Amino acid sequence: DAGVTQSPTHLIKTRGQQVTLRCSPKSGHDTVSWYQQALGQGPQFIFQYYEEEERQRGNFPDRFSGHQFPNYSSELNVNALLLGDSALYLCASSIRGIAKNIQYFGAGTRLSVL
Amino acid sequence: SQQGEEDPQALSIQEGENATMNCSYKTSINNLQWYRQNSGRGLVHLILIRSNEREKHSGRLRVTLDTSKKSSSLLITASRAADTASYFCATGAQGSGNTPLVFGKGTRLSVIA
């Protein structure tokens, strides 16, 4: 049973470019959440997708957008990249309606913006 | 913004010793979870404690929760070199089970063989 998979593992972009990160949730999971983790910090919630719609959003600008596909996989898009967007981007999947709310994380995509 | 803080920020111990990490949070919660992260990679869920529980055990892990003080502690007994990692507490707000997790800044644990 595959866990949460993310691609690519590493990515280098320059300021102003756009980037797309991908995530496949754990088998049987229907909810995908994205987090940004800056160096030396804890992860910060970006947004959450369920039934192909953005359900909750953290304090991130509109440059951050996402999508969820019918197979529950998800993409995170960041436009007009800034140096401050350099971080580890983590995808987490879970099952909606389960009270325990345990989220299973992928290994992350490390984005470097030059 | 971060929910709270882990304390200490960094901890270095000898193999076989116990490691204790503390976490404080700010708002009412549904549950509190601890995660481990090795070398800036993905987070691994360790243990969850509900707001109506005071203590929970899982193998060498012991978690306590004091909702009146809005604090939690994670104890790792008989530590091993493989326990070297960053440890984060994460809180889920009251409400539905799929509320976003709010993480602290983490404690970096080094276990020296």
Tokens of residue B60, six digits: 């060498």
Tokens of residue B67, six digits: 């909702």
More confident: B94 or B71: B71
Selected residue of A33, A59, A60, A101 to mutate for chain B interface (largest B Cβ count, 10 A): A101
> Do β-strands A10-13 and A109-113 pair in parallel, antiparallel, or remain unpaired?
parallel
pLDDT digits (tens, 9 = 90+) for A51-84: 999 999 999 999 999 999 999 999 999 999 999 9
- Contact list in A for residue B48 (CB cut-off 8 A) is 100, 102
- Contact list in B for residue A44 (CB cut-off 8 A) is 1-2, 103
What pLDDT is recorded for position B1? Answer: 46
Go through the domains of chain B in sequence order and give each one's CATH number. Answer: 5-112 (2.60.40.10)
Q: Is the peptide bond before B8 cis (omega within 30 degrees of 0)?
A: yes
Q: How far is B56 from chain A (nearest CA, A)?
A: 14
Whole-angstrom CA distances from B107 to A58, A62, A99, B20, B102 are 23, 31, 27, 10, 15
pLDDT digits (tens, 9 = 90+) for B47-87: 999 999 999 999 999 999 999 999 999 999 999 999 999 99
So what's the architecture of A5-113 in CATH?
Answer: Sandwich (2.60)
Cβ of B4 under 8 Å from any chain A Cβ?
Answer: no
Q: Are B2 and B104 in contact (CB under 8 A)?
A: yes
Average pLDDT over residues A21-34: 95
The span from the CA of A16 to the CA of A82, in Å, is 7
